[in-house]
Structure 1
Amino acid sequence: MVAQPPRSKFHQLLHDQIRHEFQASQQYIALGAYYDNEDLPQLAAHFYKQSVEERNHAMMIVQYFLDRDISVELPGIDQPEASFEDYRGPIELALKQEQQVTEQIVALAKTARDEGDYLGEQFMQWFLKEQVEEVANITTLQTVAERSKGNLFDLENFVAREINAPAGSKNDATAPPAAGGNL
């Protein structure tokens, strides 16, 4: 039988974050499919890759609970948004989503600190660093999309050259392990 420490506010918020991460993963699949439907393979590939990354984040949290002998609750998610006016809509949605996730991660880190959960606070440090990177990347993509003024060939070339280009191993040795391993 798994030992159950008392449920803290931090643990409840962290369980909620599993849902947020799976929701983000599903939303990124919808964005990738939108771009695939528009014959924009580089943008599609980028958002499909982001989906896997968000899934891995959820599984990192699952592994954290397993490592702490806390039972894991896997929640359902909402229907992702899939219709957009034009090519800029998915990027705008992705930026809002990453900004919201950043607020959630900051709240988690603050709650862990406020509750004196030093293990939880340490666990959140990697996620804080990750969110800075995620918001910066999608902000750059939004800026380039605006500057392209509808020239999707230029936008696709930028994504292929700067975002989807292999940059060696992106494995972060400081990243928490994901339950079942990263995809």
Structure 2
Amino acid sequence: MAAETFDELLTRQVGNELAASHQYIAVAVWFDSQDLPQLARHFYRQSLEERNHAMMIVQYILDRDLPLAIPGVGEVRNDFADVREPLALALAQEQEVTEQIKALFAAARAEVDPLGEQFMLWFLKEQVEEVASMTTLVNIAARADNLFDIENYLAREHGGGNDHHHAGHGSGTPEAAGGAV
């Protein structure tokens, strides 16, 4: 079987980002059901961010006049034994997305597609931040004496909705189809 082209991988990535968004909704709802509002809020926001990433890729595909069929998303995990499980799942998901983005960048480079390569650079940078942020959250949870420590950390670090992702959407950020939410 031939390796997937950059364009094929891009379409698959739309589905990957939407699946990540869906999984983050499930994580947020679980935290909400556990009366952990800061964790819930964090993951509702993460869900929107992943959706925005998907729609940035959609806009790029539209701009390049490539064919696109929006992929469906599979099942999500809804049940967790404790607060650390969904955080570990989130970190693993971000690490997986990083590998997917690296594969996209490599495919664009192999096909001598400088536009595709340049488009993927923003996502590579974003994934470094995402993995670092989720790693910190996993570490905070591992060290926490109680759940309020995690809640207080998030309130302090990401309170007011002005965390680095939304504040930092400058000129280098790709446009999202339909507008970012």
Moved over 3 A (4+): 164-168
User: 5+ unaligned residues in a row in structure 2: which ranges?
Assistant: none
Are the aligned partners of 1:94 and 1:138 in contact in 2 as well (CA < 8 Å)? Answer: yes
Are the aligned partners of 1:46 and 1:164 in contact in 2 as well (CA < 8 Å)? Answer: no
Q: RMSD across aligned C-alpha pairs, in angstroms? A: 1.2
**C-alpha distance after superposition, 1:44-100 (max 9, x if no partner):** 000000000000000001000110111221011111101011011100000000000
Distance 2:158 2:143 in 1: 16
Aligned amino acid, residue 18 of structure 2: F
User: 5+ unaligned residues in a row in structure 1: which ranges?
Assistant: 1-7
Equivalenced residues, count: 175
Aligned amino acid, residue 104 of structure 1: Q
**Given the two structures, how large is their TM-score scaled by the length of structure 1?**
0.92
- Map of 1:116 onto structure 2: 112
- Map of 1:31 onto structure 2: 27
Q: What secondary structure sits across from 2:169 in the alignment?
A: coil
Higher helix content, 1 or 2: 2
Q: CA deviation at 1:35?
A: 0.1
Q: Does 2:71 match 1:83?
A: no
Q: CA deviation at 1:166?
A: 4.1
| More displaced stretch, 164-173 vs 114-123 | 164-173
**C-alpha distance after superposition, 1:72-129 (max 9, x if no partner):** 2101111110101101110000000000000000000011001101110010000000
Aligned pair partner of 2:64 in 45, 63, 68? 68
Q: Does 2:150 match 1:158?
A: no
Q: CA deviation at 1:155?
A: 0.9
Q: What secondary structure sits across from 2:14 in the alignment?
A: helix
